Amino acid sequence: MSNIPQGKYENTIKECTKALELNPAYVKALVRRGEAHEKLEHFEEAIAGKFKLKIRQGIIMPTRLKFALIAPDISSV
């Protein structure tokens, strides 16, 4: 886990959300917010953040996102 102090996850989410409102391309804030959501077991929010990060990095194209959410992973088959 990153440098998020124990018990500060809610505050981290708030601060990172503010940072992303000011600069939607701020990858570090997106990553930290996702990690905080994961620690608080907000798994849907954490997964949504990971998809946003992958879209920003060009790993997933937005037009293929719907398919990626419903398709099984067959890469290991």
- Looking at residue 66, its pLDDT comes to 56
The 3-state DSSP class for residue 60 equals coil
Domain residue limits, the chain: 9-70
Comparing 65 with 24, the larger pLDDT belongs to 24
Contact, 30 vs 49, CB < 8 A?
A: yes
Query: Using one digit for the tens of pLDDT, what is the confidence trace for 12-64?
Result: 999 999 999 999 888 899 889 999 999 998 888 888 888 887 777 776 666 65
This prediction has a pTM of 0.64
> What are the distances in angstroms from CA 40 to CA 18, 59, 69?
19, 26, 22
Class of the domain covering 9-70: mainly alpha
Sequence-distant (6+) residues with CB within 8 A of 4 are: 12, 32, 35, 36, 39
